[in-house]
Amino acid sequence: MKKENKLIGAGLITAIGASLCCITPVLALIAGTSGVASAFSWIEPFRPYLIGLTLLVLGFAWYQKLKPRKEIDCECEKDDLPGGKAGKPKFIQSKKFLGIVSLFAIVMLAFPFYSGIFYPNTEKQVIVVDESNIKIMEYKITGMTCTGCEEHVNHEVNKLDGIVKSNTSYANGNAIIQFDKNKTNEAEIEKAINSTGYSVTNKKENK
């Protein structure tokens, strides 16, 4: 039983670790400390291995739980119960608990795919007097690892006045920003992006 508990604990840790790089931006937004959003972005290259390890560990835990017990195993398990008597196993040793842990692990592993729902919609309607005032800039950004990172950057950028559209892509490592140059500027946008903890490495104007 102790072995199974260790497997379950290991599965939980690896599942949380695999999603930590995407959970942190959401927690940073809630806490109002956006600068720490990229604190665990270094985990991203290890994410596939952590996911694989989580599935392997929990799969083995289920195997241990479901495999037929030998009679000698049943006798040994008596020692784990109060008074050394056979009885109903503790909740932490039950299939129900393992099922809850497995479900939680799946929710954690899938977090990057639905993390965007935690970000408020900051898009706003901007009235532009003159089309010639519209400028489009592309910012190259390092540190983004999932859609949650994209939403975090968009959230901060859209706080600025004069932002017409903010389109961020973690896959491309960039943000393409349309803005009214009479209401904001390149430096302010770069500052907003850097405030998230991700870093602007380059920028250029898109014609």
Total Cβ atoms within 10 A of residue 25: 33
Cβ atoms of 124 and 158 closer than 8 Å: yes
3-class SS of residue 174: strand
Cβ atoms of 29 and 155 closer than 8 Å: yes
Domain boundaries, the chain: 2-115, 119-205
3-class SS of residue 38: coil
Cβ atoms of 148 and 108 closer than 8 Å: no
The end-to-end CA distance of the chain, in Å, is 65
pTM of structure? 0.60
Which overall architecture, per CATH, does domain 119-205 show? 2-Layer Sandwich (3.30)
Beta bridge partners of 179: 135, 163
Per-residue pLDDT tens, the chain, 207 aa: give them: 566 667 677 777 777 776 666 666 666 665 555 555 556 666 666 777 778 888 888 888 888 878 776 654 554 444 444 554 455 667 777 788 888 888 888 887 777 777 667 666 666 565 555 778 899 999 999 988 877 788 888 988 998 999 999 999 988 999 999 999 999 999 999 999 998 888 899 999 887
Q: How far is CA 207 from CA 114, 135, 136, 140, in A?
A: 33, 8, 7, 16
H helical segments located in the chain: 2-31, 47-66, 71-77, 95-109, 111-114, 147-157, 186-194
In 3D space, the residue among 200, 141, 133 whose CA is nearest the CA of residue 161 turns out to be 133
